[in-house]
Amino acid sequence: MYEIGISRDFLNGRGEIAWGDIGLSRIEADPRLRHRMIGDGDVAENFAGFDAVLVLRQRIDQKLLDAAPRLRHVSRWGAGLDRIDLDACTRAGVMVTSTPLGGKVPVAVAALTFVLTLTHRVLEKDRLVREGRWAERADYMGMGLAGRTIGIVGLGNIGREFARLAAPFQARLAAYSPRAEKAQADALGVELVGLDQLMERSDIVVVTAALTPATQGMISAERIARMKPGCIFVNVARGEIVDEDALIAALKSGRIARAGLDVFREEPLAPSSPLMRMDNVLLAPHALAWTDQIISGNAVDAIGSLLSVAANKRPGFIANPQVLDHPRFADMSS
């Protein structure tokens, strides 16, 4: 029997899979496979006895791999891999797969949702109506996008999709993305620039980059100080990319007029965080992109990878392709 573990962060407060059938019925249809929830608590030994695991935000490190010698596949529900030690997995003969396409459109739409909500000052205008302050509405003028510069930090799958979504609004699009191809950017109408230049020129900055050692802390206090006074800042990537203290200071001073944040340095965001008390910040619990479409998209790829590896077939979206050289995968068919 091929044993598949499901990390407990898929459960809601009632102890149920948060999104209903996330594709587990496809596993149940194969009599050679069995799935069950991984034991409670962050204990590496809970992963012993599994051939594969489906994880959401579970950390996979050397300690866990040492405790689970049978493990050969980690299927990550989502695109980010910052909680998984890919080198350790490769050494241990553990294949890691992800779902980079499932969230591409939903996360890009989430970023655009932040941009439109913040530029049109939707929350402030909602409060004006609820508080009977109609006479103040002229004090809350929004920002039109036509002719403005939107700077995209990270022109990967999500960044490119955001550029496509933003194009009809007639904004100027710029991006910082060292590995982006100029021809691809040109086709999207995006100008590739340096990060400092992007921060200085942009009326709106949207962060979509993956968290890596190179991007951690990339939006530093020095770079935030370069931003145009009164600009708008959106982060749908990872909180660790941004110096959160410097961001808070810039929001207090007004250098950044408004911000939309779906991610934070520490999650959940502490009730004591100054961000909780700021009227010029729109907050979401790392879930703004969670729609029926992201669930169905991730389910297709994450469960599909589990089924492929269980059948010794090469899946799509292997995050550590060097693992194919490991003896465990010598007979894997393409």
For 179-233, how does the pLDDT look when each residue is reduced to its tens digit (9 = 90+)? 999 999 999 999 999 999 999 999 999 999 999 999 999 999 999 999 999 999 9
- Locate 70 and state its tokens: 């049978």
Task: Specify whether 326 is catalytic.
Answer: no
Cα 68 from Cα 49, distance rounded (Å): 7
Whether 2-102+291-329 and 104-283 share one fold: the answer is yes
- The CATH homologous superfamily to which domain 104-283 belongs is NAD(P)-binding Rossmann-like Domain (3.40.50.720)
Whole-number pLDDT of residue 333: 87
Residue of 91, 286, 314, 326 with catalytic role: 286
Residue of 72, 160, 201, 238 with catalytic role: 238
Torsion of CA 274, 276, 281, 284, to 10 degrees: 130
* CA distances in angstroms from 195 to 86, 100, 177, 198, 234, listed in the order given: 27, 24, 8, 5, 15
Q: Do the beta carbons of residue 94 and residue 76 sit within 8 Å?
A: no
Whole-number pLDDT of residue 41: 82
| Architecture of the domain spanning 2-102+291-329 | 3-Layer(aba) Sandwich (3.40)
pLDDT along the chain (334 residues), means of 10: 96 92 95 95 91 96 97 97 97 98 97 98 97 97 98 98 98 97 97 98 98 97 98 98 98 97 97 97 97 95 98 97 97 90
Q: CA 298 from chain center: how many Å?
A: 13
- Locate 27 and state its tokens: 């596993």
Whole-number pLDDT of residue 58: 94
Cα 70 from Cα 47, distance rounded (Å): 9
Whole-number pLDDT of residue 334: 83
Distant-in-sequence, close-in-space partners of 131: CB < 8 Å, separation ≥ 6: none
Q: How many CA atoms lie within 13 A of 95 on its CB side?
A: 29
Task: Specify whether 73 is catalytic.
Answer: no
Residue of 136, 181, 222, 267 with catalytic role: 267
**What angle, rounded to 10 degrees, do the helices at 122-130 and 104-119 form?**
50
Whole-number pLDDT of residue 42: 77
3-state SS of the chain is CEEEEECHHHECCCCCECCCCCCHHHHHCCCCEEEEECCCCCCHHHHCCCCEEEECCCCECHHHHHHCCCCCEEEECCCCCCCECHHHHHHHCCEEECCCCCCHHHHHHHHHHHHHHHHCCHHHHHHHHHCCCHHHHHHCCCCCCCCCEEEEECCCHHHHHHHHHHHHHCCEEEEECCCCCHHHHHHHCEEECCHHHHHHHCCEEEECCCCCCCCCCCECHHHHHCCCCCEEEEECCCHHHECHHHHHHHHHHCCEEEEEECCCCCCCCCCCCHHHHCCCEEECCCCCCCCHHHHHHHHHHHHHHHHHHHCCECCCCECCHHHHHCHHHCCCEC
For 94-125, how does the pLDDT look when each residue is reduced to its tens digit (9 = 90+)? 999 999 999 999 999 999 999 999 999 999 99
Per domain, the residue ranges of the chain are: 2-102+291-329, 104-283
Task: Specify whether 160 is catalytic.
Answer: no
Q: What does residue 234 show for φ and ψ, rounded to 5 degrees?
A: -130, 135
- Locate 231 and state its tokens: 């600009």
